[in-house]
Amino acid sequence: MNKIAYVVLSFDNYSDLWPTCFECKEKFWRSRMPTYLVTNNKKPEFENVQVITTGPEISWSHRAKKAIQEITEEYILLMLEDYFVISVIDDGSINPFVSFMEATDADYLRIYPFPTLKFKDKGIQGIHPIPKESLYGVNLQPAIWKRDYLLKLLEGPDISAWEFEARQKNGVDTQVNGNLYTVDYSPFKMVNGVLQGKWYAPAIKDLKKVGINVDTKNRDILSQDKVLIYKSKILIRKMMGPKLIRKFKPLLKKCGIKFVTD
């Protein structure tokens, strides 16, 4: 029996991204783990992908909870439909993460590093506990979750993905404690293809470099000025780090940087 499943948590309004998502997975993700696509009502056919339908949209959390309840694997590698893998990765890269989680009773292991976190020690296999001074305990970047812990976080009222992340920020009353870890390196290359509901032009270029051509007929491309604004905000976040971001949050908001908790 497989211990881990690869789950793309999506919904029907983003169905135009599914072909690119699974073309990338088929080309680069060389793994035998079960793969699931979560949708509302659509039932597309992709090779080696099982579709879980959750019905008419109620909320992000309702859709996520209903889907996760149908999955029996103990661990879930959770991806969103606009995260595109662009380098080869196989079971040999993922299995040590699962073994680490079993050995440490970890609830969550982020497998894409926090851009603002720096660690003084080497950790275990490049893995570290997520420090309390980081902005987030968990979020929806690529990560391996213990299924039961994820379901615990999904209990309660219907909420959006942004609200889910805000509820799990370090130091907030709604955070659910867990044994949380992150890597300090990137085990694979990935691009975030969509920002503000539109294709992100630099991601399209990165995909084309690895032989993936994106169909943009059903979704606009983010304007160049908004791309520059986004890159500037990311640079500011990296340079400041979590402590300074907390301290200067009011000023950053005036400069147009938004926070999910607002």
Asked whether the predicted pLDDT for residue 238 surpasses 80, the reply is no
Identify the band that residue 262 occupies on the pLDDT scale cut at 50, 70 and 90: very low
Asked whether the predicted pLDDT for residue 107 surpasses 80, the reply is yes
User: pLDDT tens digit string along 63-90?
Assistant: 999 999 999 999 999 999 999 999 999 8
The single-letter code of the amino acid at 122 is K
Higher confidence at residue 250 or residue 130? 130
Strand order in the sheet with 50-53: 50-53, 35-39, 4-9, 75-80, 143-146, 108-110, 180-183, 127-129
What is the rounded average pLDDT of the residues 184-206? 93
User: pLDDT tens digit string along 120-143?
Assistant: 777 788 899 988 777 767 889 999
Residue 31 has a pLDDT of 84
Locus of tokens 């990765």: 89
Please report the DSSP string for the chain in residue order: --SEEEEEE--GGGGGGHHHHHHHHHHHEE--S-EEEEESS-----TT-EEEE--S---HHHHHHHHHHH---SEEEEEETTEEE-S-EEHHHHHHHHHHHHHHT-SEEESS--TT---SS-TBTTEEEPPTTSSBS--SSSEEEEHHHHHHHT-SS---HHHHHHHTBTT-TTPPP--EEEESS-SS-EEE-EETTEE-HHHHHHHHHTT-----TTSPBPPHHHHHHHHHHHHHHHHHHHHHHHHTHHHHHHTT---TT-
Residue 236 has a pLDDT of 57
User: What share of the chain in percent tops pLDDT 70?
Assistant: 84
Residue 212 has a pLDDT of 97
- pTM for this model (two decimals): 0.86
